[in-house]
Amino acid sequence: MSGYGILGCGAYVPLLRLPRARIAEAHGWLNPARAAGVRGERSVAAWDEDALTMAVEAARDSLRDLVAQVGIDRVQLVSTTPPFADRSNSGLLAAALDLPETVVATDAGGSLRAATAALRQLAADRAPTTLLTASDRRLARPGGGAELAYGDGAAALVVGPGEPLAEILGSAGLTRDLVDHYRATGEDFDYAFEERWVRDEGWFALVPDTARAALDAAGITAGDIDRFICPAPARVAKKLAKLIGLDDAAPADPLLDTPGHTGVAHPLLQLCAALEQATPGQRLLLVGFGQGADALVLRTTDRIGKPSARTGVAGHLARRREEHHYMRFLSFQGLVDIDWGMRAEHDRRTAQSAHYRKRDAINAFVGGRCSACGTCQFPASHVCVHCGAVDTQAPHRFADSRARVKTFTEDWQAHSPAPPLMYGSVSFEEGGSVMMEYADFAPGELAVGLALRMAFRIKDIDERRGFRRYFWKPVAAEPPQEAR
């Protein structure tokens, strides 16, 4: 079978979960009525996670079954909350994945339907193999409804010609400046309008006609749809299904109880979850909404249901740790000014020339493997640390390697945005040890011999110059028992 469509899909949801009851409890003095009916939890990005790091993890998940089978020609990062306004976020994503520098890298955003619009464009152009990532880490003003509704997360699709998981049969779109919410340039928070007006004049007025146009483009009827994927509350999605005529279509999990609405990533995250549960031959209707609407019709293939190395949406939702401290959540969001003391006052200025020369080591975690004796080391050097051979090292990527804790320290004196600072020697399975900073561990969880994997994270933030440095950190290969 050869066609055009989704060759691979992947997801990332941060480990931390904040129960909405804790948010409501913190603001009970302000609005007691808001606590009524609060349920579920929202995903919380740690201090060293942002839209870029989450996109990297989702992209890695989408490529786990495909690395040896497809070459990526294009990379696109869609986000309404990218870390840089004028630096190629997608270019840094490609670098973290160690893709060739000839790859075409583009950034997109501006609307919560930017990801579905990008998917429609890829299908219409029958573009070369493209890694499409969507990721958001949206801030919400404390005490507002958005703080309860939002969640952090990312999704990724590999789209192109070949043997897809799901073929794209047809699509349609509508662009209309109906402002359901907005966030002005330089502002941190969204401003949302009255929910009923957005529902009646937005969802119910724009989506049905767009969906019917997509069905016509695909050459099928509403009765042929098996699954309806819509990034809206269940009651809105149910009414939309009725307006479109999807009487027999099963609604996809809205994923709003957990992890919460993940912004521009949400329709693709829902799609990934639906594909994990789909069977061959099913027809899916995917909707995007935001200053217009998108609709795409997909049909799953015989590749659906085959064994996969992906963690996926279900795997990430199962890997969780409850966040007990509302104030820590605010700190991770940068919404409370903590006095970290004198130890946090050192200058974090990045030497850009050195950073550029070492970009492969920093961005892609590439070290060296001696061609004479096979010894792996990081960083690479002219002289092998084992046999002393000169200029024999070939590039070796440690980012995809498994490792174990060799030594560790929990340092309560050094500054960390999530104390204690945890660091130590990490031993890689192919050889080589590197002193690194651990991530996603609670005090007392580290142990010698614990299995690790590498995750792309923020190393530190230069607040004075507005620059973020990224590197790789070891996290648990499987979450600790308490976090499951």
Whether 479 shows a pLDDT value over 60: the answer reads no
* pLDDT more than 70, % of the chain: 98
| Per-residue pLDDT at 177 | 94
Return the residue matching tokens 């952090």. 152
pLDDT at 311 over 80: yes
Cα(21)–Cα(26) distance, rounded to whole angstroms? Answer: 9
**How far is the C-alpha of 288 from the C-alpha of 283, rounded, in Å?**
17
Residue 346's pLDDT band (boundaries 50, 70, 90)?
confident
- In sequence order, what DSSP letters do the residues of 365-377 get, joined into one string? -EEEEETTT--EE
The C-alpha atoms of residue 249 and residue 225 are separated, in whole angstroms, by 6
* The predicted structure's pLDDT at residue 201: 94
> What would the pLDDT profile of 121-162 be if each residue is shown by its tens digit?
999 999 999 999 999 999 999 999 999 999 999 999 999 999
Beta strands in 230-372 (DSSP E): 250-251, 283-289, 292-300, 321-322, 366-370
pLDDT of residue 69: 58
| Rounded-to-integer distance, Cα 279 and Cα 178, Å | 36
Q: Rounded to whole angstroms, how far apart are CA atoms 435 and 233?
A: 46
Quote the pLDDT of residue 1: 40
| Lowest-confidence segment of 64-78, 323-337, 419-433 by average pLDDT | 64-78
Q: Are strands 283-289 and 292-300 parallel, antiparallel or unpaired?
A: antiparallel
Asked whether residue 33 carries a pLDDT value surpassing 80, the answer given is no
Give the separation between CA 348 and CA 193, rounded to whole angstroms.
Answer: 40
Please report the pLDDT score of residue 484 as a whole number: 32
pLDDT at 406: 98
pLDDT class of 2 with cuts at 50, 70, 90: low
Neighbours of 204 (CB within 10 A): 14
Q: What is the pLDDT of residue 67?
A: 63
The confidence score (pLDDT) of residue 113 equals 96
- To the nearest whole number, what is the mean pLDDT of the chain? 94
Q: Give residue-wise pLDDT tens across range 254-284.
A: 999 999 999 999 999 999 999 999 999 999 9
Q: Where are the domains of the chain?
A: 3-329, 352-364+399-483
Q: Residue 122: left (phi > 0), alpha (psi -120 to 50), or beta?
A: alpha
- The reported pLDDT for the residue numbered 184 is 95
The count of C-alpha atoms lying within 13 angstroms of the C-alpha of 381, restricted to the half-sphere facing its C-beta, is: 12
**Could you give phi then psi for residue 362, rounded to 5 degrees?**
-80, -50
Architecture of domain 3-329: 3-Layer(aba) Sandwich (3.40)
Using the predicted structure, report yes or no on whether residue 167 has a pLDDT greater than 70: yes
Give the integer Cα–Cα distance in Å for 372 and 167: 47
Q: Is the pLDDT of residue 235 over 90?
A: yes
Q: Is the pLDDT of residue 483 over 80?
A: no
* 68 pLDDT tier (thresholds 50, 70, 90): low
The pLDDT tens digits for 84-123 are 999 999 999 999 999 999 999 999 999 999 999 999 999 9
Q: How far is CA 158 from the centre of its chain?
A: 14
What confidence score (pLDDT) does residue 481 get? 40
The stretch 472-481 carries a mean pLDDT of 80
